[in-house]
Amino acid sequence: MADNDNPVFQIQRVYMKEASLEQPNSPAILLEQEQPSVDIQLGVEAQQAADGLYEVCVAATVTTKIKDRTVFLVEVKQAGIFEIRNVPQDQMQAVMGIACPQIVYPYLRANVSDVITRAGFPPVHLAEINFQAMYEQQQAQQPQGSGIITTA
């Protein structure tokens, strides 16, 4: 079968790569009446999995605390495998840093909310993300040619 020059972008699979929940101060912290603070960190990583196949992973870490004590910590990594072929090299990072995370992120949002709810807490809903702005900010901070995006 001859490989033509038409660009190819297909989702092969979307999956939860990792999930963890910690409640290090339970049960005592659950009796607190104070409203916890919530910190959310997001990141995007991409790597080549095989010829023409790339894994793009969007990670979220949600930490809630009362004063300096952790109520819960949830980490979820949602990934997708994408077939990307015949895309100009100068556009590959943008495809993996914008298009792929936009596809994976709704699954991440649902899984984070689900883990937190199943742990017995009110759900934390992750806000919509402008991956293009996030990508452009990351590119502005990195030296030219330093590779695929990774955000903390």
Domains in the chain, CATH or no CATH each: 8-122 (3.10.420.10)
pLDDT digits (tens, 9 = 90+) for 28-74: 998 998 999 999 999 999 999 999 999 999 999 999 999 999 999 99
Instruction: Please say if the pLDDT value at position 149 is more than 70.
Output: no
Relative to beta strand 53-66, strand 8-22 is: unpaired
Instruction: Please say if the pLDDT value at position 150 is more than 70.
Output: no
Alpha-carbon span 60 to 105, nearest angstrom: 10
Q: Give the pair of three-digit tokens for residue 89.
A: 């090299």
Q: Return the pLDDT at 11.
A: 97
Judged by DSSP in three states, 91 sits in helix
